[in-house]
Amino acid sequence: MARIFNFSAGPATLPFSVIQQIQEEMADYRGEGMSLIEMSHRSKTFDALTVEAEARIRRLMGFSDDYQTLFLQGGATGQFAAVALNLGRSGGTADYVDTGSWSAKAIKEADKLNVPVRTIASSKETTYNHIPKFEWADDASYLHITSNNTIYGTQFQDFPDTGNVPLVADMSSDFYCKRFDPNKFALVYAGAQKNAGPSGVTMVIIRKDLLERCKDDIPTILNYKIYAEKNSLYNTPNTFGIYGVNLVMKWIEDQGGVDAVEKNNRDKAGILYDKLDSSDFFTPHATEDSRSLMNVTWRLPNEDLEKAFIAEALKHDLSGLKGHRSVGGIRASIYNAMPKEGVEALVDFMGEFERKNG
Amino acid sequence: MARIFNFSAGPATLPFSVIQQIQEEMADYRGEGMSLIEMSHRSKTFDALTVEAEARIRRLMGFSDDYQTLFLQGGATGQFAAVALNLGRSGGTADYVDTGSWSAKAIKEADKLNVPVRTIASSKETTYNHIPKFEWADDASYLHITSNNTIYGTQFQDFPDTGNVPLVADMSSDFYCKRFDPNKFALVYAGAQKNAGPSGVTMVIIRKDLLERCKDDIPTILNYKIYAEKNSLYNTPNTFGIYGVNLVMKWIEDQGGVDAVEKNNRDKAGILYDKLDSSDFFTPHATEDSRSLMNVTWRLPNEDLEKAFIAEALKHDLSGLKGHRSVGGIRASIYNAMPKEGVEALVDFMGEFERKNG
């Protein structure tokens, strides 16, 4: 059928030009007589692809050579353990800001692994509808934040200067959606499947001096130092995933870089939030000062109307709008690759639905 | 260019019909208006795909409902830690048979994670050219074997009955290349990228009673119990990888099942070993009683000839024949998907090369 607008939270819509390129190159990768997915990760071609992707990711946001991009597996769930085990066993407590279910899981994981953890702020009592204020300890082993909260539709609007305390961010759901100062961060990680590529590959951008903290007594698969030394090729990586991420990052470049993508994201989110703000029928979940550019969440007057909204939307080729089971309601994920036309079609439909049912 | 014969050890050649199907379905997965790689892992379509793949993998080899297939990430390297941490902390020592570099890594990993380990046999002194005899302890927490050794070209010809001691096998390089008795095994694991699909997805077939051994104090990403309870969807899996594995398993079914694939593999390996045995120019590495159906390794009279062989082969569209850096020489990986014509072309070339240089 015709391509629909897919508002899923992740895996999520990808640039159609990237999908088409993957399709074109699938059977014979650039004249090599085999598919990319059949190609040795030790081949010159794939090695060059990894080197290209590693540098492109840093270049797009201005990360210097003091940083290195790693391509790992296991998603944010793997990183919850990796961050704690690599960085959390020297210095004081590992300080966490609790801004949603995934933050809470990160905290629980570090605690389970006997890393001293402190939750320095939480918005749990208001169903995580905002990013709370927070202060960290000067001797914290690191400060961990979740920059965007997919389920609740909140996002950090700016990032703190943490001085000597390493700032660690899970950016799985807003990776490269807007400009940020890379020098504020010691480590950024993101599962690719929301804003950067296919699922099954996890990007870690780590400041290299942190590698000295990594001890050898943890599972190899979680050891940053080993993967950094081997340029992500200690064992077989998700080759298709790295290929896909590289294409999506190239697509960002082709759009004009992160700034161009950010402008488009602000336009798209603006259209949708304007609609929510101009109606009493739709009630946004996130407070205005914490709204996400990536995931927009709202409620309708009752659950029956929400069910009808989702079902009716699907008939208009607008899919993936059901809110996460833990909060209900509606969620529209409008990642980098969601075209403005998709958001406009959604807003049109919302108007129509309100007129009929409001 | 035309499709070449790819003898890489992994990622490796896949059935071309599978590659073609992936290509056809890439832009619009079965009329859903989006690519499979854009689809939520919580969608009905993907959930059904996971259920189908889980059952198909068990059915193909006759694993009963007492077992469950998990789709994880991180390859064998991840499983070295997972097996040790989930199963190795109760009972006696974890007993390992050391048949190659990957076995040695598995042993080192368990030891690093403070699991009591015992190497009960090793063929290291003869450059791992055979599968040694071994005896395990009656109270071992498990017995770990590497069923096929990619680098050295050796393979277990049969599997022991270990009674109450759980038999664990790393089958990354010979997964479903031949019939075996599933009831002998407590746990089988395999990275998909050699014989079962794209890289970045790891299959674990576990007997469910073992899940009771899994404790909660280990990284979630390595916890079998959590992933079993969530049918592999605790967090976002490698969706493309699971899709690819399912297609390759379907292809095995379409070939007539594991027995048909095994017959073809024995034919292919027979052709190649006959060539090696009938020539003084080529010297096989593995002893006759331990020869692998999947990876065939041999030497030429000197390294210059080996280099020339590899370079010349490439001109005949025979790629990936360089032996692993740790042993040198030549390696031909002839996984399930390598057509008989590929092996015949290789053997023809070997004859030609010997006539010129022998």
Closest residue by Cα to residue B287 from B275, B297, B278: B297
Beta strands in A208-305 (DSSP E): 283-284, 295-299
User: What band does A320 get if pLDDT is binned at 50, 70 and 90?
Assistant: very high
Q: Can you give the residue ranges of every domain in chain B?
A: 16-255, 257-357
Q: What is the pLDDT of residues A218-268, one digit of tens each?
A: 999 999 999 999 999 999 999 999 999 999 999 999 999 999 999 999 999
> Could you tell me the CA-to-CA distances from B171 to A137, A171, A336 in Å, in that order?
48, 35, 40
Interhelix angle B258-277/B340-357, nearest 10 degrees? 10
User: What band does B30 get if pLDDT is binned at 50, 70 and 90?
Assistant: very high
Q: What is the pLDDT of residue A333?
A: 98
Question: Are the beta carbons of B33 and A3 separated by less than 8 Å?
Answer: yes
Question: Are the beta carbons of A239 and B200 separated by less than 8 Å?
Answer: yes
Q: For A236, which of B43, B193, B217 is closest by C-beta distance?
A: B193
Q: For B34, which of A4, A35, A74 is closest by C-beta distance?
A: A4
Task: Quote the percentage of chain B above a pLDDT of 90.
Answer: 97
Q: Minimal Cα distance from B337: which residue of A?
A: A38
Q: What is the pLDDT of residues B36-63, one digit of tens each?
A: 999 999 999 999 999 999 999 999 999 9
Q: What's the CA angle centered on B129, arms B61 and A40, to 5 degrees?
A: 65
Instruction: Provide the residue type at B328 as one letter.
Output: G
Q: What is the pLDDT of residues A103-157, one digit of tens each?
A: 999 999 999 999 999 999 999 999 999 999 999 999 999 999 999 999 999 999 9
Task: Quote the percentage of chain A above a pLDDT of 90.
Answer: 97
Q: What DSSP assignment string belongs to A23-83?
A: HHHSSSGGGSSS-GGGS-TTSHHHHHHHHHHHHHHHHHHT--TTEEEEEESSHHHHHHHHH
| pLDDT of B325 above 90 | no
Q: From the options 2.30.30.60, 3.30.1360.200, 2.60.40.3710, 3.40.640.10, give the CATH code of A16-255.
A: 3.40.640.10
Interface with chain B: mutation pick from A101, A238, A251, A334, highest number of B CBs within 10 Å:
A238
Q: What is the pLDDT of residue A358?
A: 84
Question: Are the beta carbons of B244 and A37 separated by less than 8 Å?
Answer: yes
Indicate if B257-357 has the same CATH topology as B16-255: no
DSSP character at residue A291: B
Question: Are the beta carbons of A11 and B217 separated by less than 8 Å?
Answer: no
Question: Are the beta carbons of B4 and A74 separated by less than 8 Å?
Answer: no
Give the Cα separation of B1 and A209 in Å (integer): 45
Q: For B200, which of A38, A73, A81 is closest by C-beta distance?
A: A73
Q: Minimal Cα distance from A114: which residue of B?
A: B217
For residue A52, the distance in angstroms to the closest alpha carbon of chain B comes to 19
Average pLDDT on B11-29 reads 98
Q: What is the pLDDT of residue B90?
A: 84
Interface with chain A: mutation pick from B235, B314, B324, B336, highest number of A CBs within 10 Å:
B235
Query: Annotated catalytic residue: which of B170, B174, B250, B251?
Result: B170
Q: What's the CA angle centered on B333, arms B329 and B336, to 5 degrees?
A: 170
Question: Are the beta carbons of A39 and B234 separated by less than 8 Å?
Answer: no
Question: Are the beta carbons of A34 and B13 separated by less than 8 Å?
Answer: yes
For residue A143, the distance in angstroms to the closest alpha carbon of chain B comes to 20
Q: What DSSP assignment string belongs to B222-234?
A: G-HHHHHHTTT-S
A232 contacts in B (CB within 8 Å)?
Answer: none
Query: Annotated catalytic residue: which of B95, B136, B174, B194?
Result: B194
pTM, full prediction:
0.98
Q: What is the dihedral of CA A292, B29, B16, B263, to 10 degrees?
A: 110
Q: What is the pLDDT of residue A1?
A: 65
Answer positive or negative: Cα dihedral of B297, B300, B303, B304: negative
Average pLDDT on B286-315 reads 97
Q: What is the pLDDT of residue A326?
A: 81
**CATH class of this structure's domain A257-357:** alpha beta
Question: Are the beta carbons of B3 and A34 separated by less than 8 Å?
Answer: yes
Q: What is the pLDDT of residues B160-212, one digit of tens each?
A: 999 999 999 999 999 999 999 999 999 999 999 999 999 999 999 999 999 99
A111 belongs to the catalytic site: no
The token pair that represents B284 in the structure block = 């096989």
Instruction: Give the bridge partners for B149, in sequence order.
Output: B154
Give the Cα separation of A58 and B15 in Å (integer): 36
A98 belongs to the catalytic site: no
Query: Annotated catalytic residue: which of A102, A136, A251, A298?
Result: A102
Q: What is the pLDDT of residue B1?
A: 65
Q: For A4, which of B33, B78, B220 is closest by C-beta distance?
A: B33
> What's the mean per-residue pLDDT of chain A?
97
Q: For A27, which of B8, B23, B109 is closest by C-beta distance?
A: B23
Interface with chain B: mutation pick from A26, A29, A35, highest number of B CBs within 10 Å:
A35
Closest residue by Cα to residue B317 from A45, A47, A240, A31: A31
| pLDDT of A43 above 70 | yes
B251 contacts in A (CB within 8 Å)?
Answer: none
Closest residue by Cα to residue A297 from A154, A146, A155, A158: A154
User: What band does A173 get if pLDDT is binned at 50, 70 and 90?
Assistant: very high
Diameter over CA atoms, chain A: 62
Q: Minimal Cα distance from B34: which residue of A?
A: A3
B102 belongs to the catalytic site: yes
The token pair that represents B51 in the structure block = 């259920």
A112 contacts in B (CB within 8 Å)?
Answer: 216-217, 220
Closest residue by Cα to residue B244 from B42, B34, B11, B65: B11
Give the Cα separation of A14 and B27 in Å (integer): 11
Average pLDDT on A52-56 reads 98
Predicted ipTM > 0.90: yes
Question: Are the beta carbons of A3 and B34 separated by less than 8 Å?
Answer: yes
User: What band does B91 get if pLDDT is binned at 50, 70 and 90?
Assistant: confident
Interface with chain A: mutation pick from B34, B226, B325, highest number of A CBs within 10 Å:
B34
For residue B19, the distance in angstroms to the closest alpha carbon of chain A comes to 6
